[in-house]
Structure 1
Amino acid sequence: MAENSTVLPYPSLDDMQHWTWVIGKAQQMMLEHGLDMMQIATAKPAAPGLPALPDTSAFAKAQADFWTDSLKMWQRFLTPAQAEPAEENPAHARDRRFAAPQWRDNPMFDLVRQSYLLIADHLLKGVDAIDGLDPKQKDQVRFATKGFVDAMSPSNFAFTNPVVIEKTIETRGENLLKGLEHMLRDMTKGQLTHTDPDAFEVGRNIATTPGKVVKETPLYQLIQYTPQTSEVYKTPLIVFPPWINRFYILDLNPEKSFIRWAVAQGLTVFMVSWKSADASFKDVTWDDYIVRGQIDAIDTVRDLLDVKTVHAIGYCVAGTTLAATLALLAARDEARKVKTATFFTAQVDFAKAGELNLFVDDEQLKLVESLSGEGFLDGRYMAATFNLLRGRDLIWNYVQNNYLLGQDYTPFDLLHWNGDTTNLPAKWHKAYLVDLYRDNKLVVPGAISVDGTPIDLTKVKTPSYVQAGKEDHIAPLESVWKITEHFAGPIKFLLAGSGHIAGVVNPPSAGKYQYWTNDKPVKTLEDFMAGASETAGSWWPDWIDWLTGQDADKVSAKAARIPGKGKLKAIEDAPGRYVKTR
Structure 2
Amino acid sequence: MEKSDVAEPHLPTLEQMQQWTHAIGRAQQLMLEQAAGASGLTLPFDPHAVARIQSSFADEGLAMWQRFLDSGGMLRDAPLPVPADSPAARKDRRFADPAWTQNPFYDIIRQSYLLVSDYMTGLADAVDGVDPKQKAKLRFATSGMLDALSPSNFPLTNPAVVQKTIESGGENLVKGLQHMLADLEKGQLTHTDGTQFELGRNIAATPGKIIHETPLYQLIHYAPSTDMVLETPLIIFPPWINRFYILDLSPQKSFVKWAVDQGISVFLVSWKSADASMKDLIWDDYILRGQVDAIDTVRDLLKVKSVHTIGYCVAGTTLAATLALLAARGEADKVASATFFTAQVDFSKAGDLTLFVDDEQMKLVDKLSTGGFLDGRYMALTFNLLRGRDLIWNYVVNNYLLGQDYPPFDLLYWNGDTTNLPARWHRDYLTQLYRDNLLVKPGTISIDGTPIDLKTVQTPAYVQAGKEDHIAPLESVWKLTENLSGPIRFVLAGSGHIAGVINPPAANKYQYWVCDEAQPTLDAFVAQAKETKGSWWPDWRGWLETIDSRTVAVKGARQPGKGRLKAIEDAPGRYVKGE
TM value normalised by structure 2: 0.93
The answer to whether 1:73 aligns with 2:73 is no
1:46 alignment counterpart: none
The answer to whether 1:527 aligns with 2:524 is yes
**Coordinate RMSD, CA, aligned:** 2.4
1:244-259 correspondence to structure 2 within 5 Å:
244-259=241-256
Distance 2:528 2:153 in 1: 44
Is this contact kept in 2: 1:38–1:56, CA < 8 A?
A: no
2:206 alignment counterpart: 209
1:416 alignment counterpart: 413
Tell me how many residue pairs correspond in the alignment. 562
1:294-373 correspondence to structure 2 within 5 Å:
294-373=291-370
Is this contact kept in 2: 1:511–1:538, CA < 8 A?
A: yes
CA distance change for structure 1 residues 224 and 98 in 2, over 3 Å: closer, same or farther?
same
Distance 1:213 1:452 in 2: 32
1:7 alignment counterpart: none
Percent identity, aligned pairs only? 66
CA distance change for structure 1 residues 13 and 567 in 2, over 3 Å: closer, same or farther?
farther
Distance 1:39 1:264 in 2: 57
CA distance change for structure 1 residues 74 and 314 in 2, over 3 Å: closer, same or farther?
same
Distance 1:542 1:169 in 2: 54
1:376-396 Cα distance to aligned partner (Å, 9 max, x none): 000001100000000000000
Matched residue type, 1:544: R
The answer to whether 1:433 aligns with 2:427 is no
Matched residue type, 1:200: F
1:1-20 correspondence to structure 2 within 5 Å:
17=11
Q: Per the alignment, in what secondary structure is the counterpart of residue 274 of structure 2?
A: coil
Cα drift, residue 328 of structure 1: 0.1
Q: Per the alignment, in what secondary structure is the counterpart of residue 198 of structure 1?
A: helix
2:238 alignment counterpart: 241
Cα drift, residue 549 of structure 1: 1.2
1:223 alignment counterpart: 220
1:332-356 Cα distance to aligned partner (Å, 9 max, x none): 0000000000000000000000000
Is this contact kept in 2: 1:23–1:115, CA < 8 A?
A: no
CA distance change for structure 1 residues 65 and 490 in 2, over 3 Å: closer, same or farther?
same
Task: List alignment gaps of at least 5 residues for structure 2.
Answer: 1-5, 35-40, 74-79
1:34-53 correspondence to structure 2 within 5 Å:
53=44
1:433-454 Cα distance to aligned partner (Å, 9 max, x none): 0000000000000000111110
1:487-516 Cα distance to aligned partner (Å, 9 max, x none): 111000000000000000000000000000
2:536 to 534, 539, 542: 539
Distance 1:15 1:569 in 2: 82
2:449 alignment counterpart: 452
The answer to whether 1:401 aligns with 2:398 is yes
1:512 alignment counterpart: 509
Distance 1:375 1:580 in 2: 21
1:102-121 correspondence to structure 2 within 5 Å:
102-121=99-118
Cα drift, residue 100 of structure 1: 0.4
Matched residue type, 2:61: S
Distance 1:71 1:575 in 2: 62
2:77 alignment counterpart: none
Cα drift, residue 38 of structure 1: 11
1:5-56 Cα distance to aligned partner (Å, 9 max, x none): xxxxxxx97667499999988745432335779999xxxxxxxxx9995541
1:58 to 27, 33, 49: 49
Matched residue type, 1:59: V
Q: Per the alignment, in what secondary structure is the counterpart of residue 242 of structure 1?
A: coil
1:274-293 correspondence to structure 2 within 5 Å:
274-293=271-290
The answer to whether 1:263 aligns with 2:260 is yes
1:132 alignment counterpart: 129
Cα drift, residue 87 of structure 1: 2.2
1:44 alignment counterpart: none
Is this contact kept in 1: 2:224–2:263, CA < 8 A?
A: yes
TM value normalised by structure 1: 0.93
Cα drift, residue 297 of structure 1: 0.3
Is this contact kept in 2: 1:16–1:108, CA < 8 A?
A: no
1:33 to 27, 40, 53: 27
Task: List alignment gaps of at least 5 residues for structure 1.
Answer: 1-11, 41-49
1:176-197 Cα distance to aligned partner (Å, 9 max, x none): 0000000000000000000012
Is this contact kept in 2: 1:156–1:400, CA < 8 A?
A: yes
Cα drift, residue 85 of structure 1: 5.3
Matched residue type, 2:275: D
